[in-house]
Amino acid sequence: MLSVCCRRNRFWPMFVVSLGLALSGCAHQDDGPLMASSKTREGFDRLLDSVVRLDVWETTFSGGSKRTARGVGSGVIMTSDGVILTNAHVVNPYAERISVTLNNLERVPAKLIGWDHWTDLAVVQLDPMEVAQRGLTFSHAEFGDSSQLKPGETVYAVGTPNGLTRTVSRGIISNTNRFFEGRTVGAGYETGAFNTWLQTDAAINPGNSGGPLVLSNGRVIGINTRAYLGANNLGFAVPSDIAREVLSHLLNADSVPRSYVGITPAALQDLENFYQLEANQGMLVQSVDPGSPASKAGMSPGDIILSIDGKTVDGRFPEQLPAIQNAIASRPVGSEIPFELRRGNQAQTMVITTEPLESRVGAMEAFEKWGVSVQRISKAVAREEKLKSNDGVRVMGVQAGYPAAEAGVSSGDIILKVGDVNIDSLDAIQTVYDSWVADPQKVLVEVERGRQASYLVLKPR
Catalytic residues: 89, 120, 209
Dist. CA 365–CA 393, nearest whole Å: 10
Q: Residue 42: helix, strand or coil by DSSP? A: helix
- DSSP label at residue 143: B
Helix (H, G, I), strand (E, B) or coil at 381: helix
Other CB atoms within 10 A of residue 161 CB? 24
119: nearest Cα among 264, 399, 322, 310: 322
From residue 386, alpha-carbon distances to 2, 110, 260, 277 in Å are 34, 42, 19, 36
CB within 8 Å of 207: residues ≥ 6 apart: 5, 6, 7, 72, 73, 74, 159, 160, 161, 162, 163, 164
Q: Measured at the alpha carbon of residue 364, what is the angle toward residues 390 and 376, in degrees to the nearest 5?
A: 5
Distance CA 354, CA 337 (A): 8
- The beta strand positions in 78-106, using DSSP E, are 83-86, 95-101
The answer to whether the CB of 173 falls within 8 A of the CB of 144 is: no
Terminal C-alpha separation, the chain: 46
Furthest-apart CA pair in the chain: how many Å? 75
Beta strands 443-449 and 414-418 are: antiparallel
Measured distance CA(202)–CA(284) in Å, rounded: 36
Q: Is residue 52 within a helix (H) or strand (E), and if so which, with residue range?
A: strand 51-62
DSSP 293-341: HHHHHT--TT-EEEEETTEEPB-SSGGGHHHHHHHHHTSPTT-EEEEEE
The candidate with the shortest Cα–Cα distance to 61, out of 381, 411, 408, 379, is 411
**DSSP-assigned beta bridge partners for residue 375:** 364, 394
Q: How far apart are CA 376 and CA 164, in angstroms?
A: 38
H or E stretch at 129: helix 128-134
- CB 151, CB 175: distance < 8 Å: yes
